[in-house]
Chain A
Amino acid sequence: MSRVRYFGRRILLSIPVLVLGGTFTFLVFRFSPVDPAAAIVGTAATEEGVAEYNRVRAELGLSQPVLDHYWAYMLDLFTLNLGQSWVVSQGTPVTDLLNTYGLRTLWLTFWAVLIPIFVGIPLGVYAGLHANTKVDYAVSVFGIVWRAMPNFWLAIILLAVLSQSKSILGFDWSGFIVDTALIGTPDLTNLTTVDGFLEATKRILPPAIVLGSASMGSELRIARTAVLETINADYVENAKANGVPDRRVVWKHVLRNALVPLVPTVTNEAFLLIGGSVIVEVVFGIHGIGWLFFQAALNADMPLVTALVFVFIVVVVGINILQDVLYALIDPRVGYDAR
């Protein structure tokens, strides 16, 4: 089947996933043991309380028959009319929240994806090219440990180290290059200025390193394996036999092929970051989407929670499709039935 048809099929298959995901959030909203309206209104048994409760129920659609509610709910979801938050930030439309909080999470995940790519992959490639040397062992162990360390633990350790950086590391992290606080949301309004950019980057680096730690370990390992496999491939030997100099063999033939298994790895890691960002944001006090979700769950702000879950599902589906696109770009064999 041609590549176009291949994509078409992928995109087509995403739709039932979205529908099912939306249905799931609906079920959670409508049938969960936690009463969304009760969470919003509280449990006052007074007359106004009860009236308020009923009013909220009607507004949330809970008093409608199930099927009508379902239909309206799904329609809203797919037109991205995500409602508003009722508890955490009462009255604010979800889309507004997404904008403010989402930007911060984006900044965090951007760096959490970038750092492993630019640190982990080169290290892994180097280890693969010099397999079974001491450096290789050191790098491999480093990758394994980094990958096994729990995010939340690494976060608090890093925070502790940086807060005592003077005594442990010898220099004061807070004042390094630009003055920043350790905890709290970075200010993203001045990204276009040098100072603003530096400050925002410096503040996001520790949490980004934590969030990307496991990714780094993983990508390092996969890069190493990929390089090892490609180095022993027939076409590499053939190129060498035909006189291609070693340097070019590595840069042109080995690396390009080693890249192929890395693409799904990187995208899968990106997908894992969504879950991990909750922990990092909570520990570092960054008010991003993960933190928002955490707060919403804590406070049983069901409209917000279900809306966010659906958003996450959409993002994941998007990443999956992106992964397929990238993979097809990297590997010309994709989409062709070898048989």
Chain B
Amino acid sequence: MTDPLLSVESLRTTFHTDQEVVRAVDGASFSVAPTETLGIVGESGSGKSVTARSVLGLVEEPGRVHPDSSIRYHDPAFVQRTARAHPDATFWGGDVDNEPDDAFVTVHEGEQSGENAVVKRGSVDLVSAPDAVVQQVRGSEIAMVSQDALSSLNPVYTVGNQIEELLGIHRGLSGREATETAEELLRNVGIPDPERRLREYPHQFSGGMQQRAVIALALACDPSVLVCDEPTTALDVTIQAQVLDLLARLKREQDLSVVFITHDIGVIAQVADSVAVMYAGEVVERAPVERLFDVPKHPYTRGLLRSIPGVATTGDRLPTIEGSVPTPSEAATSCRFAPRCPEAFDACHEVHPDAVRVAGEEEPAERDAPPAENGTQSRENGKPPAADAAPGLPTANGEHTAACLLYPATLSTGERVERHDGDDRSNRAPPSRTDASGAAGSGVSE
């Protein structure tokens, strides 16, 4: 089991406005493995876009990423560079939980030799890292493709100008070389006659071409992870298919990891390797894509899948989920989906569910696993944890989790409630780096 490339744990992003506090992302955890496509799916208001922006450190006043969140980037080369540049902030312990407060680089495997440190496995926490470090991640390691392509492009500069700007920053190219590389990039994303197009302005491109241009911009940075925030939502179906194909090809050619954010679960089926379903700022289900579509566990996911036109086989009305996504302003003390959930029972309104492993019903019941760390998945029954798995990291490989009081289905209702509740209470985050305004996951309403 290899390290993921990007791992997000208990991400909390809140917006403090004059009228209210909005907890746009409230304890989301997921990870992306190298060359994997993670699909994040959810309705409007579920916190998907804020998640993307939090990862890139683009959340500004009045928004804040809670310092207890962790967003870790595991690319060894990058970690190595950072470790060399910030030796004082590097922790050579290997156990993320024991990382001292002022360290944002953790090395699991490597040699500590000051300026010539070698890192084979480690991570950088982007939440606690200074802005200068995050700046280095932006573009070169993680690049973004946004939804509205036309407004993502600066209208007063030519497309070529904008691509070459990024080439200059990230690859150090300029002049003739930059122009040629830019042409190559445009050709690679399927824009014909790139020489002419480089000299044109964004509004002269068609919708599909604009989206391709934005992808080209992202690729100009030579990233390892591509975060795509609803890149095809504004396109019509045929163009959408082309762009998705393009993305798949590019991913193959350049060994990219992709985080694909969308509300269209049909698109997810097409592009994702694994899926995280978000609701009201939380990840309610995580699974490999086939498992998700095969045996969706969380009632919300089931509702989403039922509402795909074409999937519904009975009746003349498309099944919908009544109501709309709430905008949470307080810490969760119950299941946020409960008001809309067809399968909710009493405890759902009182106990906040954690993400628990869901096996298929036919698998043998799992006996009690040791209490999960920090509200993440428990380990598979009977199998020792993979020897080299970094402890405490949410792993992506093949695990299917859901945050619902219906699971683990093998326990009785009472046991389940206790399981979620107890975990909740015993899972107060260690009082590290907490500020006076309340610890994470305390379950105390404000």
A335–B291 alpha-carbon span in the complex (Å) = 53
B143 and A241 contact, CB distance less than 8 A: yes
Tell me how far the C-beta of B241 lies from the nearest C-beta in chain A, rounded to whole angstroms.
24
Q: Are the CB atoms of B139 and A241 closer together than 8 Å?
A: yes
Interface string of B182-214 (1 = CB under 8 A from A): 000000000000000000010110000000001
Q: Is the CB of B151 within 8 A of A242?
A: no
Interface residues of B in 215-274 (CB under 8 A from A): 217-218, 220-221
* Known contacts A234-B151, A333-B155, A336-B203; A242/B146 CB under 8 A: no
A330 interface contact, C-beta 8 A: yes
Chain B contacts of A252 at CB under 8 A?
Answer: 157, 165
Interface size, chain B (Cβ < 8 Å) = 32
Residues of A within 8 A of B218 (CB): 242
User: In the complex where A245-B135, A253-B154 touch, is A234 in contact with B148 (Cβ < 8 A)?
Assistant: yes
Give the nearest-CB partner of B156 in chain A: A256
Interface size band for A: 20 to 34
Docked CA distance A330–B157 (Å):
10
Query: B56 to nearest A CB, angstroms?
Result: 5
- Among A233, A235, A241, A333, the residue within 8 A (CB) of B203 is A333
- A241 touching B156 by the CB < 8 A rule? no
Instruction: Assess the B144–A331 pair: CB atoms within 8 A.
Output: no
Q: Is the CB–CB distance between A243 and B58 below 8 Å?
A: no
Within 8 A of B (CB), among A24-81: none
Q: Which of B127-161 contact A (CB under 8 A)?
A: 135-136, 138-140, 143-144, 146, 148, 151-157
Do residues B135 and A332 form an inter-chain contact, with CB atoms below 8 A? no
Task: Decide: B203 and A242 in contact? CB cutoff 8 A.
Answer: no
The reply to whether the CB of B170 lies closer than 8 angstroms to some CB of chain A is yes
Chain B residue contacts of A235, Cβ below 8 A: 151-155
Q: Judge whether B151 and A244 touch: CB under 8 Å.
A: no
Query: Nearest-CB distance from A332 to chain B (Å)?
Result: 5
Q: Nearest chain A CB to B215's CB is how many angstroms away?
A: 11
Q: Which of A155-175 contact B (CB under 8 A)?
A: none
A239 and B154: CB pair below 8 A?
Answer: yes
Which residue on A lies nearest to B161, using beta carbons? A252
Query: Is B335 at the interface (CB under 8 A from chain A)?
Result: no
Does A250 lie at the interface of the complex (its beta carbon under 8 Å from any beta carbon of B)?
A: no
B214 to chain A, nearest CB (A): 7
- List the A side residues contacting B144 at CB < 8 Å: 238, 241-242
A233–B150 CA distance with the chains assembled, in angstroms: 11
Mask: chain B, 353-390; 1 = CB below 8 Å from A; 0 = not: 00000000000000000000000000000000000000
CB contacts (< 8 Å) of B170 on chain A: these are 243
Inter-subunit contact A241/B148 (CB<8 Å): no
A245 CA / B170 CA spacing, docked (Å):
11
Q: Are A332 and B154 in contact (CB under 8 A)?
A: no
**Complex CA distance for A338 and B202, rounded to whole angstroms:** 12
Give every chain A residue within 8 A of B417 (Cβ-Cβ).
Answer: none
* Contact with A333, one of B138, B152, B201, B220 (Cβ below 8 angstroms): B201
A3 within 8 Å of B by Cβ? no
Interface residues of B (CB under 8 A from A): 53, 56, 58, 135-136, 138-140, 143-144, 146, 148, 151-157, 162, 165-166, 169-170, 201, 203-204, 214, 217-218, 220-221
Closest A-B pairs by Cβ, 3 of them: A243-B139, A234-B151, A241-B144
